[in-house]
Amino acid sequence: MSQQPQLHAVPKWHTQSIAAPRPAVQPLLRAEGISLEYRSRAHTVRATHDVSFDVYRGDRFVLLGPSGCGKSSLLKAAGGFIAPSAGRISINGQAVNGPGPDRVAVFQEFDQLPPWKTVKQNVMFPLLASKKLKRNEAEERAMHWIGKVGLAGFADAYPHTLSGGMKQRVAIARALAMQPEVLLMDEPFAALDALTRRKMQEELGRLWEEARFTLLFVTHSIEEALVVGNRILLLSPHPGRVRAELNSHQFGLHSTGSPEFQSAANRIHRLLFDEDTAAAPESAVGRRLAL
């Protein structure tokens, strides 16, 4: 079988949604024609223009693009933290109108854990606040996920006593304990050193193998996108528009040194930085191209 990721290229500035390869299954999360703007009295910043994508249950869907292309803004819109100026985001067919316990986010910053709560209290907090579980059930669920991320011995520790990687593990445990429909991750490993980042990518993969959650993951690292994602949406620079979508399920940490991985990374780089005109011909909406 070919090791080549398949591209669903769209013309460079085309506003039509890409053709998804799985029409029989309903998407879990659907973004349709999303334009996002930040308005102030002085001016308006357009973060994305007419971005559409479908995330299916169990997907590890990556939003990849250069700094400022609106990846974080799209994630915030999926989380219900900001509203699109045009378009619609839905989960299971229901419009997203605000934040909800069905979408839980993990961010890059290490300060996302209230410092006055222990690891266990941090993981239990959203379970109790959302009234999902009674206290003893929440404690049990929290300890389960704290164990899953390898922090069973640190349940009573406070965040300031943990390393950056351990704090991110707590944030992941807290998110997964909520059993969200979609786990939203905004560059969660970007502030970690290279070795820890790699380890965390590996652990995320292992957790996904066990729990098969649905992931919407933002990164500007091509390598991380290939390692983490099974599908990648490439966004053009500011304002972000869909450049192409590719299937990347065949890649993982096991393949990072392979010629196929390098070739896919190079091709994505060319696509992102506008050096690959052949991949985005005007007539290629929905056409599948091999890398």
Ligand X SMILES: Nc1ncnc2c1ncn2[C@@H]1O[C@H](COP(=O)(O)OP(=O)(O)OP(=O)(O)O)[C@@H](O)[C@H]1O
Residues that bind ligand X (CB under 6 A): 38, 45, 47, 65, 67-73, 220, 238
CB of 222 to ligand X, least distance (A): 13
CB of 200 to ligand X, least distance (A): 18
CB of 159 to ligand X, least distance (A): 23
CB of 86 to ligand X, least distance (A): 15
Residue (73 or 248) nearer to ligand X, CB = 73
CB of 199 to ligand X, least distance (A): 22
Residue (68 or 286) nearer to ligand X, CB = 68
Residue (65 or 229) nearer to ligand X, CB = 65
Tokens at 144, concatenated: 């389960």
Three-class secondary structure assignment of the chain: CCCCCEEEECCCCCCCCCCCCCCCCCCCEEEEEEEEEEECCCCEEEEEEEEEEEECCCCEEEEECCCCCCHHHHHHHHHCCCCCCEEEEEECCEECCCCCCCEEEECCCHHHCCCCCCHHHHHHHHHHHCCCCCHHHHHHHHHHHHHHCCCHHHCCCCHHHCCHHHHHHHHHHHHHHCCCCEEEEECCCCCCCHHHHHHHHHHHHHHHHHHCCCEEEEECCHHHHHHHCCEEEEECCCCECEEEEEECCCCCHHHCCCHHHHHHHHHHHHHHCCCCHHHCCCCCCCEEEEC
What is the separation, in whole angstroms, between the first and last Cα of the chain? 14
CA-to-CA distance for 242 and 52, rounded, in angstroms? 7
Residue (64 or 127) nearer to ligand X, CB = 64
CB of 35 to ligand X, least distance (A): 12
CB of 38 to ligand X, least distance (A): 3
